[in-house]
Each structure stands twice: as structure tokens, then as C-alpha cells.
Amino acid sequence: TPLDPEAMFKQGFLNDVYNERPVKPVMSRFPPEPNGFLHIGHSKAIAVNFGFAKYHGGHCILRFDDTNPEAEEEIYFTAIEDMVRWLGFEPHKITYSSDNFGKLYEMAEKLITLEKAYVCHCGDEEIKLQRGGEKGATPRYRCKHAEQTVEHNLREFRRMRDGAYRPREAFLRMKQDITSGNPQNWDLAAYRVLDKPHHRTGDEWKIYPTYDFTHCLCDSFEGITHSLCTTEFYLSRESYEWLNGQLVEWQPIQREYGRLSISGGILSKRKLKELVEKKIVRGWDDPRLFTLIGVKRRGVPPGAILEFVNELGVTTTNSIIQASRFEQTIRRYLERTVPRLMLVLDPVPVIIEDAGELDGAELDIPFSTKNTEMGSHKIKFTKTVYIDRSDFREVDSKDYFRLAPGKTVGLLYAPFPIKATSFTKDETTGKITEIRAVFDRETKKPKTYIQWVGTDGRNAEVRLYNSLFLSDNPASAEGGYLNDINPESEVVYPNALIESGIDEVKRRAPWPEAAGEDKLGKGGPESVRFQGLRVAYFALDSDSTDDKIILNRIVSLKEDVKK
């Protein structure tokens, strides 16, 4: 039986966090910076923030943390929102940190007035020294700018705003506590000059607030009760509380949970970009990548991702999970939720000489032998059936139980087992071109049943995906991650056959309405998922058209089958 889908909220870290402030309604936020596509790690952040609010009957805001116009692009906004919905969550509101630029500016002036901020003109080297030098070995000190009067700072800050300074010539610093052991208290930057137009505010602003200044204040403006972020922000909690304490009434609480990453994958934007640009992968949504658009395209159900996050639980430690563990959860999820079809990767025709009237016979076959609620569908049994090349051997042996000359094998759901009588071979390629067989009406229980597709099947291109990298830690592989590419990470079978039942599976997808997908209406091609009997789990690829079926392997049937 699957784990309680709300387990992660009922115990451990998230339960403790709620109990620290057991208010209703809970207000949380998911605050991505729109500077790239989301990856599998972000699905944890989405599950944590949206899930926490949902569990406590509250609300979660999708907030684009768009304070850095240098790194942000329009396409990421929609892509991020799509992924949140795909995972089954509805943002209470969609907000933008940049909506608050005016208010944040006022807050900065207020901070100056409180003598808690000053305009500084020091360069990077000088600031490093102020913060204790190379190894923090020398005493920390403040520069002369920290002594400026409120009037001077206000005047300078307004000049920054009005474009009197070039980038790096001036910045606003918070006046915190440089005697503290926590570097987050060492007079952090609050505002910097940037000569970049912003995609929402255009060229209205020449100065932009930093993360440290923006995040806590936006949390307060939005009435966030619990601000959940990852542990690299642990030290920032102090500056978060300090700044809000100076400026605003409502005090959200920030708490930190561990990041999730998957071993054997690459999540760094720069490296992913290189893989895409060098065409090592099919794009940012390549099924081998752990971007969420990639995982989606591969056919991984959103419900399986949520189940995975829930199973791992939420703690304060970062976790690096083996890809095989992720796949195990996906497999278990698919096992319960998808129909079965017969698929032949590398077809060889078998002509059943005595098919007689059974040629064209209609068979009613179940979509799942385990779950009768999935119903059944009809396919045709035909005199010529296609079986997989790997299910035939020219020379029989005792320990072999599939088809060979003189040997009997069962055909799944077919009226009788078949026995091979002869075969023909292409002399130049050495490949079997045709097998002849007869029904074996004597053998009631053949040792093995194999899948087959009749002449009413459909052509398909099948792409089998394996790990993109050879090692578990491609980032530190010898010669770099580009030297660690698995040559078999994508194996294509261009001439596969799939039984006609695929039509109904397409019509009825997703099976059943899994988390998120019902919200997108019919679901994309990737929601057409099935188990190819004896082969693997598959989903329709987004390159498919009405006339062309392209399938991606989501996961193998068993862990050890994986190449």
C-alpha cells in the first residue's frame, strides 16, 4: 500500500514548523527566480510550499523573484507557472517582487532615516578587507561611508536612483552588526545600480534591491506566515529577522529544509545550456535531463514526483538520491495506474500456416490483468503476427523457453501456442526475415508467453532512455562531464510496432486522472502512458504527430533490466 500522501506534513520538520506558529490560514509562497527552467529539486520546493498551505487549508503564492534583470527572461515565467500547475497546484495569486519596487524603495529610505543604512562607494577588494580579509584573519571594520549623516545618505541614495552613478560606483548598505560571527550581519548590500531594463518595469529603475533586502520584506507585505526555504539560507535567517524587525509590522518566520538532488544528473544551468547548445541532448526538455520539463516529457507522472518527495520526507539535511531510487517510485506508481499494451521493438514476421479461420479473429483483451476496472479492448489475431527478434533463436537449447525451430511458445491472449517450423534469413545481413510456424494445440501451458502485434498494429519509433552520464558524479568525472556521456543514453528503435489498443489509450489518457493533469484539460502527449508487456513503461513523446507515434521509455520494468 502506498504511503499516506500527507505523511510529510504530519510529522518531522514540517509538522514542527507548523507547531511553532499554528495559525490559520497558513500563507506560504514559492519564490523562484525566473532565470532558468525548474529542475527536479524545485519539485520538492513546490511540494513543500504548496503542499504545506494545502494541508493546513491555507494559501500559497507563486512569487517570481525578479529583482535581477541581468539573468531573467520572459519564457521562464510561463514555463515555471506551467510546472506548478502540472504538479497539481493552483497558485493563490501570482505576484512579482518587482511589483513592490516602489514600496521597497520607500523602505530603503526609511532604513536610512533610522540610521540603519548608508550609501557606500567602496570596491570589492576594499569590502573584502572590511569583512576580515582573505581568511577572515584580520579585524573587521567599517568604511568612512558608514559615518555619513542621514541627509547625506538620503541625497546620495536619490542620486543613485536618478542615474548619477554607473554600476558598482555606489550601493546602499545595511548597517547591521559587524561584530557578529555571522557574515550575514556584515553590512550587506541592499540596493545596487544596474544599467539594465527590467522586463516588467522597463527603464523606470536604475537601481535594484538585492535578495537579502527584498525577500523578507516581500514575505511580510504578502502576509506570509511560514517562509520555507533551503538550508543555504540558514545564516540569512538573522538578517531576514533583523530587517523586517526594523521596517515592518508583520513578521513571517523563515525556516530551512534540505535541498534535493539526484546523483548521476546535472542541474547547473550553465552545464545544461552547454549540453543543449552542443546538441548532445534534444533540448531543455530532453527526457534524459532532470529538468522538470524533461522529466515531464519522458512521461513521469506528476503524482509519482509528489510521491517521491513525500517518501523521502522533509528534514534539514540535503539529500543526494540515486536515480534508481527515483525510478523505483515511478515504476511502483505506474504499476498501479497505467494500462498494458503489446509492443514489439524489433519486429520479425511469423506466418502461422494453419491459422485458418482464426485469421482476423477478434480478441477481447484486458487493459490490465490486475485492475479489471481499466476494462478491455479488441484487437485482431492475424495469420501474420510480429514478434520481437530477441524472442527467436535459430538454434534451440534446453534452457531456452521462447521461440526456436521445433519449439513451442505461448502468444499472450492468442487462441493457441505456436511452434516454429522454419525460417528465412537475409544472407548479406544475416538477419532473420521471416519465421514460419503452426499452432501447437497439444501444449496447454507453455513455459513462456511472448507479446506480439498483428497486422492491425501501428508503426512506432521507440526511444529507450538510459542515464545520460556514465558515472554517478559527472560534474567531477575525468575530463569533465562532457567526456562522461553514455553513448547508449538514447537507443532508438525506428520500426517498432504497437497494437491498435494504443488508440483507446490515447483517447482515455491520463489513466486515471493523476495529480495536476486534469487541470490541464486533456493532458499533453506525455500523459499517454502504458506498460509495454515484457518490455518497459512508455509515454508518447511530444514529437509525435497524428500519423507518427513516437514513444519514450519512462522506466524499465525491473531495476536490473536497465543497461
Question: Active-site positions?
Answer: 33, 259, 269
Question: Should residue 33 be labelled a site residue for ligand ATP when binding is judged by CB under 6 A?
Answer: yes
Residue 115, Cβ neighbours under 10 Å: how many?
Answer: 11
Long-range contacts of 437-440 (CB under 8 A, 24+ apart): 437/350, 437/351, 437/352, 437/353, 437/403, 438/352, 438/353, 438/354, 439/352, 439/354, 439/355, 439/415, 440/408, 440/416
Q: Find, among 161, 16, 162, 33, the residue nearest to 97 by Cα.
A: 33
Helix (H, G, I), strand (E, B) or coil at 376: strand
Closest-CA residue to 183 (of 255, 227, 228, 130) = 130
Nearer Cβ to ligand ATP (44/297): 44
Q: Which residues pair with 530 in a beta bridge?
A: 538
Classify the C-alpha dihedral 438-443-449-454 as positive or negative. Answer: positive
**In this chain, which stretch among 136-144, 196-204, 256-264, 379-387 interacts with ligand ATP, using CB under 6 A?**
256-264
CB-nearer residue toward Mg ion: 269 or 506: 269
Residue 287-316 contact track with ligand ATP, rule CB under 6 A, x = bound: ------------------------------
Partner whose binding site includes residue 229, from ligand ATP, Mg ion, none (CB under 5 to 8 Å by kind) = ligand ATP
- Least distance to Mg ion, CB of residue 192, Å: 16
For ligand ATP (CB under 6 A), the number of binding residues is: 14
Q: Is 249 helix (H, G, I), strand (E, B) or coil?
A: coil
Contact stretch for ligand ATP (CB under 6 A) within 27-35, 241-249, 429-437, 478-486: 27-35
Question: Which of 8, 14, 45, 104 touches ligand ATP by CB under 6 A?
Answer: 45
- From Mg ion, ligand ATP, none, interface partner of 456 (C-beta below 5 to 8 A by class): none
Q: Please report how close the Cβ of residue 271 comes to ligand ATP at its closest, in angstroms.
A: 11
By beta carbon distance, the residue nearest ligand ATP is: 41
Residues 213-252 that bind ligand ATP (CB under 6 A): 229-230
- Among 25-33, 189-197, 299-307, 388-396, which window interacts with ligand ATP (CB under 6 A)? 25-33
The three grid cell numbers given for residue 433, joined into one nine-digit string? 526475415
What's phi and psi for 377, nearest 5 deg?
-150, 165
Which segment (39-47, 281-289, 476-484, 535-543) binds ligand ATP by CB under 6 A? 39-47
- 265 is an interface residue for ligand ATP by CB under 6 A: no
41 binds ligand ATP (CB under 6 A): yes
Helix axis angle, 40-55 to 74-86, nearest 10°: 60
Q: Is 32 in the site for ligand ATP (CB under 6 A)?
A: yes
Q: Applying CB under 6 A, which part among 29-37, 153-161, 344-352, 474-482 lies near ligand ATP? A: 29-37
Q: Which is nearer to ligand ATP, 130 or 227 (CB)?
A: 227
- Joined together, the cell numbers standing for residue 89 give 497546484
Q: Is the Cα torsion angle 146, 149, 153, 156 positive or negative in sign?
A: negative
Tell me which of 36, 474, 516, 532 binds ligand ATP, using CB under 6 A. Answer: 36
Q: How far is the CB of 532 from ligand ATP (least distance, A)?
A: 32
| Pairing label, strands 340-341, 529-532 | parallel
Q: How far is the CB of 426 from ligand ATP (least distance, A)?
A: 51
Q: How far is the CB of 39 from Mg ion (least distance, A)?
A: 9
Place of cell 556514465: 470
Among 44, 226, 282, 407, interactor with ligand ATP by CB under 6 A: 44
Under the binding rule (CB under 5 A), the answer on residue 33 touching Mg ion is yes
Query: In whole angstroms, what is the distance from residue 292 CA to residue 329 CA?
Result: 16
Q: Which of 8, 243, 260, 539 binds ligand ATP (CB under 6 A)?
A: 260
C-beta closer to ligand ATP: residue 45 or 292 = 45
- For residue 4, how many other CB atoms are within 10 A of its CB? 11
Q: List the one residue out of 137, 151, 145, 132 whose CA is nearest residue 175.
A: 145
Task: Determine the Cα–Cα distance for residues 222 and 31; give it in Å rounded to an integer.
Answer: 12
C-alpha closest to that of 106 among 60, 158, 66, 68: 158
> What's the CA gap between 178 and 314, in Å, rounded?
34
For residue 509, which of 537, 531, 528 has the smallest C-alpha distance?
Answer: 528
Q: Contacting ligand ATP (CB under 6 A), which of 188, 193, 267, 374?
A: 267
**CB-nearer residue toward Mg ion: 33 or 238:** 33
> Could you tell me the strand order of the sheet in which 59-64 lies?
27-30, 59-64, 94-96
Binding segment for Mg ion among 29-37, 174-182, 293-301, 554-562 (CB under 5 A)? 29-37
Residue number with the smallest Cβ distance to Mg ion:
33
Contact region for ligand ATP (CB under 6 A) — 35-43, 92-100, 127-135, 187-195? Answer: 35-43
Which letter does DSSP use for residue 272 in this model? H
Partner from Mg ion, ligand ATP, none binding residue 41, C-beta < 5-8 Å depending on class: ligand ATP
Q: Residue holding cell 543604512?
A: 117
Query: Which of 15, 148, 210, 261 forms a contact with ligand ATP (CB under 6 A)?
Result: 261
301 binds, options Mg ion, ligand ATP, none, Cβ within 5 to 8 A by partner type: none
What one-letter code names the amino acid at 36? G
Draw the binding track, 174-213, toward ligand ATP (x: CB under 6 A; -: no contact). ----------------------------------------
Q: Is 235 exposed, middle or buried (0-12, 13-18, 19+ CB in 10 A)?
A: middle
The region that residue 259 occupies, defined by phi over 0 for left and psi between -120 and 50 for alpha, beta otherwise, is: beta
Q: How many residues are present in the chain? A: 563
CB of 259 to ligand ATP, least distance (A): 4
User: Cβ of 36: how many Cβ atoms within 10 Å?
Assistant: 22
CA pair distance 93, 348, nearest whole angstrom: 56
In the complex, the smallest distance separating the C-beta of residue 29 from ligand ATP, rounded to whole angstroms, is: 9
Residues that bind ligand ATP (CB under 6 A): 31-33, 36, 41-42, 44-45, 229-230, 259-261, 267
Applying CB under 5 A, the residues found at the interface with Mg ion are 33
